[in-house]
């Protein structure tokens, strides 16, 4: 079979791959994307279940400096700027506002300890910064599972502290995944083409997929760290440093469950309920996202991974039990599980978003460095300060593309 030939080949059609390909095309390069799935967007995917449901990314984090806000607006997507539920006090029958304030105080104190400890030369697990015996520890751990995909015992303090966020969070009404799909229009994307081998030993880079070979002057690899670490793609010559870096920046575990809610008007739009507070194995519930008659339940860490074995039914049962404990048994008949994500068992993701294991905060730079002058790496895990986000992924893709264009004097 003859190789399909391009100036640049991008592996993966997630935010990083799309950002890279768009920049390269606009810069005049002949570029294509090879993508394993039968859709674009990667971990930003909008499913349609009567409403557009973001099964992965939903929030434009750091929205006041997020380049995708302008891209979205340019493509006619409406941006919702209302305050996210976690940034306002919520009325929850069994969690009075005075206790919510106490919890926030404990969280703030924990973040101050993280900031101080990050200045130490030695890295450590973030769980070592919990105040022994503090009643809010399980909830702080649960929040870590939502924002990092891991409980604090698996999280590097220095990496956690390296994440920069302006705390401005907006949403794309039609879905973040739908935006990715729109961005991909007009780009040359080969779907259902899992890459199995990248040979960067010769004058050109050869990329083998299950559907046939490609060749290019330069390649940008944007697949998730778990895919790199799994060895699904063989590099020739081998890249042990990359595999090692990827293995120490694993994707955590987070999943979303959407339930329909009868008689939703009784509840405030875009409000929030916490599940149990004495354990980290609990979900957080976003009530009526965009005012829709839905509940979006967010699961993180070990719980998110374990429930995947039980599918929609298992997630649904867990969420309905927790909601009934807070709102009373009569809520049960008003809730119906609609859709759930399964990011950890997804072969082309293997989890939600990357975090550094304790002692390995320096691995993002190792992963992000090009291997020679023709093999580049991008993706959320390569971002120094915006990792675990769509815009972080996008920016790394755009930057890799700009370097390639500059080297080609375009
Ligand atoms: C539940 C959940 C909630 C999230 N919430 C938010 C949020 O609110 N805001 C936010 O900014 N971010 C959020 N994120 C994180 C965000 O989705 C990711 O950081 C971002 O989408 C990653 O983009 P990427 O391009 O680096 O990787 P990906 O999106 O994973 O793209 C990589 C692509 O490579 C493809 N691929 C994999 N293996 C191969 C192969 N062998 N050959 C070819 N292609 C391959 C994949 O199919 C994929 O399309 C969330 C993620 C999850 C899972």
Same domain flag for 157 and 293 = yes
Nearest alpha-carbon partner for 290 in 312, 318, 258: 258
Same domain flag for 185 and 331 = no
pLDDT per position as a tens digit, 164-190: 999 999 999 999 999 999 999 999 999
Q: Which domain does 93 fall in, by range?
A: 85-168+254-340
113/131 Cα distance (integer angstroms): 10
pLDDT confidence band for 359 (50 / 70 / 90): very high
Q: Has residue 349 been placed in a domain?
A: no
310 alpha carbon – ligand 1 mean position (Å): 23
Q: Has residue 36 been placed in a domain?
A: yes
Mutation pick for ligand 1 pocket among 22, 210, 353 (CB with most ligand atoms within 8 Å) = 353
Nearest alpha-carbon partner for 259 in 177, 338, 189: 338
pLDDT per position as a tens digit, 224-243: 999 999 999 999 999 999 99
pTM of the model: 0.98
For residue 51 and ligand 1, the question of a CB distance below 6 A is answered with no
Same domain flag for 119 and 216 = no
Name the closest-CA residue to atom 35, ligand 1.
12
For residue 287 and ligand 1, the question of a CB distance below 6 A is answered with no
Nearest alpha-carbon partner for 160 in 95, 116, 204: 116
Q: What is the count of structural domains for the chain? A: 2
Q: Has residue 351 been placed in a domain?
A: no
Q: Has residue 282 been placed in a domain?
A: yes
Same domain flag for 193 and 234 = yes
Query: Which residues are paired to 31 by β-bridges?
Result: 8
For residue 300 and ligand 1, the question of a CB distance below 6 A is answered with no
Q: Has residue 76 been placed in a domain?
A: no
The DSSP secondary-structure symbol of 78 reads P
pLDDT per position as a tens digit, 334-354: 999 999 999 999 999 999 999
For residue 256 and ligand 1, the question of a CB distance below 6 A is answered with yes
Label residue 313 exposed, middle or buried (CB < 10 Å: 0-12, 13-18, 19+). Answer: exposed
Q: Domain with 45 in it: what CATH number?
A: 3.50.50.60
Alpha carbon of 16 to those of 76, 313, 379, 381, 395: distances in Å?
21, 33, 5, 10, 7
For residue 86 and ligand 1, the question of a CB distance below 6 A is answered with no
Atom of ligand 1 nearest to the CA of 351: 53
Whether residue 253 has pLDDT greater than 90: yes
pLDDT confidence band for 1 (50 / 70 / 90): low
Mutation pick for ligand 1 pocket among 14, 64, 391, 392 (CB with most ligand atoms within 8 Å) = 14
For residue 175 and ligand 1, the question of a CB distance below 6 A is answered with no
For residue 16 and ligand 1, the question of a CB distance below 6 A is answered with yes
Mean pLDDT of 289-299: 98
Mutation pick for ligand 1 pocket among 390, 392, 394, 396 (CB with most ligand atoms within 8 Å) = 390
107 alpha carbon – ligand 1 mean position (Å): 28
Same domain flag for 190 and 311 = no
Same domain flag for 229 and 329 = no
Same domain flag for 394 and 276 = no
Same domain flag for 35 and 91 = no
Q: What is the DSSP track for 13-34?
A: -SHHHHHHHHHHHHTT--EEEE
Q: Has residue 307 been placed in a domain?
A: yes
Same domain flag for 258 and 241 = no
Q: Has residue 346 been placed in a domain?
A: no
329 alpha carbon – ligand 1 mean position (Å): 37
Same domain flag for 161 and 183 = no
Nearest alpha-carbon partner for 90 in 257, 262, 268, 256: 268
60/169 Cα distance (integer angstroms): 6
For residue 42 and ligand 1, the question of a CB distance below 6 A is answered with yes
Nearest alpha-carbon partner for 111 in 152, 153, 57, 168: 152
Same domain flag for 16 and 155 = no
Element (H, E) at 303: helix 301-307
What average pLDDT does the chain have?
A: 97
Query: Which residues are paired to 207 by β-bridges?
Result: 198, 214
316/58 Cα distance (integer angstroms): 20
For residue 59 and ligand 1, the question of a CB distance below 6 A is answered with yes
Query: Which residues are paired to 54 by β-bridges?
Result: 46
For residue 400 and ligand 1, the question of a CB distance below 6 A is answered with no
Name the closest-CA residue to atom 11, ligand 1.
389
Q: Domain with 136 in it: what CATH number?
A: 3.90.660
For residue 389 and ligand 1, the question of a CB distance below 6 A is answered with yes
pLDDT value, residue 89: 85
330 alpha carbon – ligand 1 mean position (Å): 38
Whether residue 134 has pLDDT greater than 80: yes
Domain-terminating residue out of 286, 309, 340: 340
Q: Has residue 316 been placed in a domain?
A: yes
pLDDT value, residue 409: 77
For residue 221 and ligand 1, the question of a CB distance below 6 A is answered with no
Same domain flag for 322 and 374 = no
pLDDT value, residue 2: 67
């Amino acid at each position: 079979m003859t190789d399909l030939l391009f100036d640049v080949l991008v592996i993966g059609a997630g935010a990083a791959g799309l950002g890279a390909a768009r920049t390269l095309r606009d810069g005049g390069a002949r570029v294509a994307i090879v993508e394993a799935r039968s859709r674009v967007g990667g971990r930003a995917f909008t499913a349609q279940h009567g409403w557009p449901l973001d099964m992965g990314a939903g929030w434009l984090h750091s929205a006041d400096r997020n380049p995708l806000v302008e891209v979205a607006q340019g493509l006619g997507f409406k941006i919702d700027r209302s305050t996210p539920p976690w940034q306002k006090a919520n009325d929850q029958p069994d969690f009075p506002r005075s206790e919510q304030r106490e919890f926030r105080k404990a969280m703030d104190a924990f973040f101050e300890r993280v900031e101080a400890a990050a200045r130490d030369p030695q890295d450590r697990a973030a769980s070592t910064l919990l105040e022994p015996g503090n009643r809010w520890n399980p909830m702080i751990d649960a929040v870590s599972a939502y924002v990092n995909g891991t409980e604090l015992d698996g999280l590097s303090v220095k990496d956690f502290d390296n994440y920069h966020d302006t705390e401005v969070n907006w949403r794309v009404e039609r879905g973040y995944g739908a935006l990715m799909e729109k961005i991909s229009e007009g780009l040359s994307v080969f779907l259902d083409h899992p890459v199995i081998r990248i040979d960067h030993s010769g004058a050109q880079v050869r990329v083998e997929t299950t559907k046939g070979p490609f060749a290019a002057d330069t390649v940008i690899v944007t697949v998730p760290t778990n895919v790199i670490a799994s060895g699904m793609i063989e590099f020739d010559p081998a890249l042990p440093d990359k595999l090692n870096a990827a293995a120490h920046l694993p994707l955590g575990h987070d999943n979303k469950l959407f339930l329909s809610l009868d008689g939703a008007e009784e509840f405030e739009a875009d409000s929030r309920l916490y599940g149990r507070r004495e354990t980290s194995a609990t979900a957080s519930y976003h009530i009526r996202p965009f005012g829709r008659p839905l509940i979006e339940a967010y699961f993180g860490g070990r719980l998110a991974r374990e429930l995947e074995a039980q599918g929609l039914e298992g997630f649904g049962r867990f969420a309905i039990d927790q909601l009934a404990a807070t709102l009373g048994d009569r809520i049960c008949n008003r809730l119906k599980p609609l859709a759930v994500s399964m990011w950890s068992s997804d072969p082309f993701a293997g989890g939600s978003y990357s975090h550094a294991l304790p002692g390995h905060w320096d691995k993002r730079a190792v992963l992000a460095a090009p291997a020679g002058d023709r093999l580049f790496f991008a993706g959320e895990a390569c971002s120094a300060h915006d990792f675990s986000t769509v815009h972080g992924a996008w920016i790394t893709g755009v930057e890799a593309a700009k370097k390639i264009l500059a080297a080609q004097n375009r």
